[in-house]
A and B are shown apart, each in its own frame.
Chain A
Amino acid sequence: MTNVPISGRRLVFSMDLRRARIAAALVAIIVMALLPPAGRAAATGWVGDRHAAVRLITAEQATGAMSTVDAGLQIRLAPGWHAYWRTPGAAGIPASITWAGSRNLRSAALSWPAPRRLPLDGLQTYGYETGVVLPIALRLADPSAPLILHADVNYSACKTICVPYHAALDLTLPTGLALPGPEAVLITAARARIPGSLAQLGLTLREADVAPAADGRSALILRLAMHGRPLVHPDLFVEGLPQGAPGRPSLSPSATGRTVTLVVPRVHDGAGVLAGRRLAFTLTDGTGGAATFHAAPRLVSAAARPGRTILPLAILAVALLGGLILNVMPCVLPVLSLKLFALAGLAGAERRRVRIDLLATAAGVLVGFAALAGGLIALKQAGAAIGWGIQFQQPWFLATMTMVTVLFAASLWGWIEIDLPGGVATRLGTVQLRSHSGTAFLTGLFATLLAASCSAPFVGTAVGFALARGPIAIMGIFLAMGLGLAAPYLLGAAVPRLVSLLPRPGRWMLGLRFAFGLLLLGTALWLLSVLVRAGGGAQALLTGGFAAGLLAVLAARRYAGLARALAGGLAGALVVAAVAVAAVLPRAPEAAARQLPAGPWRRFDQASISAEVARGRIVFVDVTAAWCLVCKVNELTVLDRDPVATRLRASGVVAMRADWTRPSPVITAYLQSFGRYGVPLDVVYGPGAPQGVKLPDLLTADAVMRAFAEAAGPPRVAAGGTSE
């Protein structure tokens, strides 16, 4: 430093001054940082922890000589944490504020944006995820004086554990120009989410009833007339119940589509308690808005519940047809047709026995379908997410049915001595009946089980229709399907002469059995392909390995010498290889699910639909599943061909695919919001149809293009109050 020339010394001096300025600035920053966070007009600091915190915000930065101030309580929540609505449901502490210690405050009114449903293990709570602003309307006693707020806030926030929070918030609003603060936009957005009136949603309440249900519970039934757009994803929250915290309502549109009936099942309180009691209902419709209304439900008998309406004959016919077609599906065909051929050999001589046998088989089929219907009814009452095809979402079902079909293929090829169901034994090309009616009954039952592992056209439509309705409808439609499946046998029982017209079993049966075995093997391969998508590649490999190993073992038994040795070696190698590869494969069924679908298809993202529509785009949603034949038909004939294919790839069109191959509560809820319980479902959204245009099950290019045109057109103006 001493060697620096004079100019350098001056430099040193100015560096000293700069250092001093820097130091002063640092000190100022440190002091300001250490100062307690003062309630800057328009927002207090956050009080809480990293999971949940609150602060008080105001829309303006000063009182502006007005007697009201728009304020809000903002709750910030970490991912996975939630806070509660004013009626929390089964458990929870909603935010409550006391204002003792405030000055110049005459009143404070807290409002609640529309809640979301937060279930846990069957228990229902209602609240908010990721955060919420609760708007507060403050009234001043003296508009010309500043407003000094002291708020004591109590609330609970939960993820896997629940934490009670308390926060003391202080905010002073000075007098002065009421410039909007940066938090004003938060409060405005929150006010927009407060439920409005039914009329604003284009709805009128026609009826509110309560009917007794099992176990001393009750069901609330609301009938709403829709004047404008139809409800898309309605959910209903009930307040004023002494005990209940009910689950999602079911949705039944009327035949004309102008009214919709919402049924809240299994409300904990009895019908007698709720009749005449004034309840508050909050209806939300996804992004479509929310409304709160009051009603005192009338007591009605259980028979008045919807779902007991007369079934349209058309759906019963569809169910019958579906059942008939099931007869020729590759999984059912071998078992039942062999049965018929066995009987052909007997006809003439033992007509009576033929009759009884066929009747017993038909009875087995009907009982099997009744049992299926009963199971689905029970699941639906329990509130489980059901739909046709859920059996294909369960890996254990697919694996078991693969093994069963492989075993029967082996038995058809004579590799194993299992008596085919119904006591049909195959010897040297003849088919003999060795059963009595008990076994015949079991054949019918077994055929139903196999039918459930095939999908067939019309079955999906009929069942989807049934599941949207009540127990009587479900049972009726399933019995109609059973009748369709049992039709050939009922016919044979009625006219045994027809059976004697069938060709007598002979050596040609060997060829037929070989072909049937191949059919069953084909079914097994198809089931494995569904298993890849539903359970992951590792699982499918394991099952496929077992199946192939089993086949090889059985083949080894059948053949002698070199063939046996080869087959035995192959069996061992296959099983070991399958297990090894399955163990090494990265177990990532989730990764497979995360793969983007090919072509123009994006992953289904319900939340972004309204954003895209707001940008003027058209959104085409296709809900599909690996096992769904009608979906494949739609793809091949309409979606992958012009003109629809080009339209889907156009800019301004977003194509989304929702894959229901695996259980997905989100997709199940989406299906149910349209009153559907199965796939396929295709919906077109656009500026002209923000709530979506539902397309028919079996698509035609015309229908799709018309829906595109409607969605692209101008928004429809809500019609006046036309009644049903």
Chain B
Amino acid sequence: MVSSIQSIGSPLLRRIGRRAALAGLGGGLLSGLALPARAGTLPLLPAALRRLVPPEPAPKAPFTTGAGQTRNLAAWRGDGVVLNLWATWCLPCKAEMPALDRLARIVAAAGIVVLPVSIDTGGRKAVVTFYRENRIAHLPVLLDPEGRMVTALKAPGVPTTVIIDRQGRMVGRVEGPVQWDASSSVALLRKLVGAAS
């Protein structure tokens, strides 16, 4: 049987056969993946983001650093900013922190900073302990215990994240946790923030 194939078929047909087999396998795999069920990971940014069109001016509310200095968002004009309001008592915030940490490392070279602002009334100590216990290495300690940023952004709860482009305008908003380090999330973030000047 095989020798008859060899006599009929040319090497081309043989190759087609092998390619057909590979295509079949690939097709089978793809059709299995085509309608996937969502597993238990956090939502991706493209699904969770609410675009702000037209963009709104970024809030001017101040917050303090871990060293006690007062800052506001104007200090980061020219960089893209992911401003994340969170608290140590908030489980979804805790769930997305490792992803935010990884995001900070991934996009640092592209001139995008991640600024998590904690509204804990416990202040610096609570945040520093949290960072240490959860091995957060790339995120700054920023505090807003009076909730001025919450009021400025009219945030309904935490985590609330706003994405600010290099011109200092809010271009997107998320309520709830996000899988920030997923490739689709990072790609959308880069696009929203705009190219480096």
Contacts and interface: CB of A to CB of B under 8 A. Distances in A.
Contacts of B31: 399, 539, 542-543, 546
Contact of A161 (B14, B16, B160): B160
A517 to B, nearest CB: 12
A396 B158 contact: no
Contacts of A553: 20
A648 to B, nearest CB: 32
Contacts of A228: none
Given A406-B24, A427-B3, A91 B90 contact: yes
A76 B9 CA distance: 75
A651 interface: no
Contacts of A535: 32, 35
B35 A428 contact: no
Interface stretch (A35-43, A350-358, A414-422, A652-660): A414-422
A397 B32 CA distance: 7
Contacts of A547: 24, 28
Interface string A398-430: 111011101100000010111000000111100
Interface residues of A, number: 58
A395 B35 contact: yes
A557 B9 CA distance: 8
Interface string B1-42: 111010011000110111011011101110111111100111
Nearest to B99: A121
B93 interface: yes
Nearest to B90: A162
Nearest to A402: B28
B92 interface: yes
Contacts, number: 157
A665 B90 CA distance: 24
B37 A587 contact: no
B90 A158 contact: yes
Contact of A407 (B5, B21, B34, B94): B21
Contact of A158 (B21, B34, B92): B92
Given A91-B90, A535-B35, A557-B17, A162 B157 contact: yes
Contacts of A161: 90, 92, 156-160, 175-176
A397 B37 CA distance: 13
Contacts of B2: 414, 417, 425-428
A349 B21 CA distance: 36
B153 to A, nearest CB: 13
Given A416-B17, A550-B20, A396 B29 contact: yes
Contact of A403 (B5, B24, B94): B24
Given A121-B42, A557-B17, A399 B32 contact: yes
A91 B91 contact: yes
Contacts of B37: 395, 589, 662-663
B25 A90 contact: no
Contact of B133 (A88, A243, A589): A243
Contacts of A611: none
What bracket does the count of chain B residues touching chain A fall in?
35 or more
B16 to A, nearest CB: 7
Contacts of A402: 28
B32 A543 contact: yes
A407 B20 CA distance: 10
B80 interface: no
A160 interface: yes
Contacts of A122: 40
Nearest to B6: A417
Contacts of A589: 35, 37
A207 B115 CA distance: 48
Nearest to A119: B40
A536 interface: yes
A662 B36 CA distance: 12
B148 to A, nearest CB: 15
Contacts of A407: 21, 24-25
A198 B196 CA distance: 65
A90 B3 contact: no
B64 interface: no
B8 A163 contact: no
Given A417-B14, A663-B37, A158 B27 contact: no
B31 to A, nearest CB: 4
A416 B6 CA distance: 11
A162 B93 contact: yes
Nearest to A118: B91
Contact of B91 (A90, A163, A554): A90
B92 A538 contact: no
B88 interface: yes
Interface string A153-196: 00010101111100000000000000000000000000000000
A96 to B, nearest CB: 12
B88 A91 contact: yes
Given A161-B157, A414-B5, A91 B94 contact: yes
Given A160-B176, A428-B3, A539-B34, A90 B94 contact: yes
Given A399-B28, A404-B25, A428-B1, A158 B20 contact: no
B86 to A, nearest CB: 9
Given A161-B158, A161-B160, A536 B24 contact: no
B95 interface: yes
A275 B133 CA distance: 21
A218 interface: no
Contacts of B95: 120-121, 123
B28 A93 contact: no
Nearest to B91: A91
A164 B157 CA distance: 8
Contact of B13 (A92, A396, A549, A557): A557
B37 to A, nearest CB: 7
A647 B191 CA distance: 64
A417 B3 CA distance: 10
A543 B21 CA distance: 14
A627 to B, nearest CB: 15
Interface string A526-538: 0000000001101
Contacts of B175: 160-161
A261 interface: no
A123 B176 CA distance: 16
B172 interface: no
Contact of B89 (A91, A121, A394): A91
Contacts of A158: 90-92, 157
B177 interface: yes
Given A399-B32, A426-B1, 5 more contacts: A91-B90, A162-B92, A163-B156, A396-B29, A428-B3
Interface of B: 1-3, 5, 8-9, 13-14, 16-18, 20-21, 23-25, 27-29, 31-37, 40-42, 87-95, 133, 156-160, 175-177
The list of the 8 closest CB pairs from A to B, nearest first, reads: A399-B32, A403-B28, A396-B32, A160-B176, A161-B157, A550-B24, A542-B31, A163-B157
12 contacts: A92-B91, A122-B40, A161-B176, A395-B35, A397-B32, A418-B18, A428-B2, A542-B34, A554-B20, A587-B35, A662-B37, A663-B37
